[in-house]
Amino acid sequence: MKQILKRLISAICFCALLFFLIGRVTYVLSDKSRGTLAEDYYQYGRNTFDVIFAGPSTTQYAIQPMQLWEEFGIVSYNLGTSAQTVAQEYYLVKEAIQLHHPKLVVLDGGTESSEKKVNSKEHLHFMSDGMPITSKVKWEMMTDLAGTDILEFILPIYTYHTRWKELTKNDFLPDSKEHVLGAVTGVVRGDGPALVENPIDTSYQISGWSKYYIEKLIRLCRSTGTELLMFTTPTLYEGKTITQEAYDNRKGAYYALAELLSSYDVPFLNYFTRGAELGMDKETDSGDGHHLNIWGARKFTSFIGNYISSRYHLEDHRQDPRYEPMNAALAASRALMTGRLLRSAYSFRTYFDLLEDARKEEEKYIVVMALCGDVSGAFSAADAGIIMQAGTEQSLCHYGSHSYIAVLDEGKVLYESDIRSPALEEEKKLQVGDILIEATSSVSGENTEIRVNGAVYAADRSCLRIVVINKETGAVDDHAYLTLGRTDHSIAHPQ
């Protein structure tokens, strides 16, 4: 008997170790793109979130839960994934109700025009891979949506086993997806042709599958005492992801969706064509016309926050000691997000807009700039004004063939080269708390160095070198340079 028990325990331990190793290998090999379900959702305890958002990638980009916490004290999570259909929304909501019993579920109607349960196997992986194998709802969803490919979703390593050739160091790190409470942020700004507001096709019919799952969602929410709200995000111009034809089709789909939801007395905030009402600017608030960037997301999140906080019984938890970790998470996410956004910004204007945002929010950053090479005529008055958004007091439009160094502490000038000085070379050394900053600027040699606690950030070209230092950690969150002699003033990030 003891021998049998010993073998049984050994078998259980072996299986547990095997599943653990498979899980770790699967995680390393799995797709970690922004369109996937955020990793940390299942790490929160039960009954944490009062509001759950779900929907396609437009949801991921448009709704920022950290902003909802900061402005309204709303505790929420964004369960958006790329091309998420209403069938997928149904299962995410069903599980969220079991885990958190949220007071309100807010769903993006962006893919309610889909004729399919799932747009592709890849998009189902984006959601299912993040769900634990122990989830009953996952098994129910796979039975419904995966069809004959169910084994592939239960053991996703089968799908990703060939991805080893594409692995980077980030694949081995925890929290490698750039989500904050499920949301992602974009800094790209695009522009495109204005969309023509053609008459709405009022004969449009919602597909059978979409209607089926919408009605299931309504019944689910009502049977569990959960409020339901649906919305669409603004589309600002024609781009690769939204053509004029697709725009017209979606207008028809959302008209039909509004009629259906009205028959069930479910509110629907259809802002697909109404970005201007929210102060949206097509030149600054979207990367592709269809997805909002960080500036557009702030406007839309603020609108949603005002709407739901004034119409639903949502408690403001900002003074509740049980939610104090949210304040810590807010500070941490700000610091983390600023660095991430800066590292993903390649537009001169966008980069300095982000530095201005950090300055206005009084984030704890030091910005060091050093110029090498002849700056004569490199910057127009408008260009120089953009640079001054970081907090500098003197305009580089007026500089000629001489050196330039600026050190800014939370947007305040600690040191800035005197515009009247004709020096060709300059060196400055400053101690800010535990951070030692040394900067060298040279015109004739076309080289410059910025050293932070001995670490060297150098350039061997005519450029404006920028180093952004996190004061709380002492780490360099970004180092970049702006090459002179080019009209586009693009930002480069050395590896």
Q: Is the pLDDT of residue 27 over 60?
A: no
CATH number at residue 94: 3.40.50.1110
pLDDT of 281 reads 93
- 408 and 280 both lie in a single domain: no
In a domain, 346, yes or no: no
**What range does the domain containing 381 cover?**
351-492
Mean pLDDT of 140-157: 74
Percent of the chain residues topping a pLDDT of 70: 84
- 178 and 38 both lie in a single domain: yes
- Per the CB < 8 A criterion, the answer to whether 22 and 62 are in contact is no
Q: Is the dihedral of CA 125, 127, 132, 134 positive or negative?
A: negative
Give tens-digit pLDDT for 164-209.
Answer: 445 555 554 554 456 788 898 888 888 889 999 999 999 988 888 8
Q: Distance between alpha carbon 116 and the CA centroid of its chain, in Å?
A: 27
pLDDT of 162 reads 44
Quote the strand ranges of 304-424, DSSP E: 365-372, 404-409, 412-416
pLDDT of 2 reads 61
Give the mean pLDDT of the chain: 84
Beta-carbon contacts of residue 184 (< 8 Å; ≥ 6 apart) = 34, 60, 61, 178
pLDDT of 243 reads 92
pLDDT of 445 reads 61
pLDDT of 279 reads 95
Task: Map tokens 């000691």 to a residue.
Answer: 321
- 330 and 374 both lie in a single domain: no
CA distance 142 to 303: 35
Mean pLDDT of 22-38: 55
- 392 and 458 both lie in a single domain: yes
In a domain, 343, yes or no: no
Q: Is the pLDDT of residue 361 over 90?
A: no
In a domain, 38, yes or no: yes
Beta-carbon contacts of residue 246 (< 8 Å; ≥ 6 apart) = none
- 238 and 208 both lie in a single domain: yes
Residue type for position 276: A
- Residue 274 backbone class (left: φ over 0; alpha: ψ -120 to 50; beta: rest): alpha
- 331 and 357 both lie in a single domain: no
3-class SS at 98?
helix
Model-level pTM?
0.81
- 322 and 390 both lie in a single domain: no
Give me the number of domains the chain comprises: 3
- 21 and 43 both lie in a single domain: no
Q: Is the pLDDT of residue 416 over 90?
A: yes
- 194 and 254 both lie in a single domain: yes
Give tens-digit pLDDT for 391-413.
Answer: 999 888 877 778 889 999 999 99
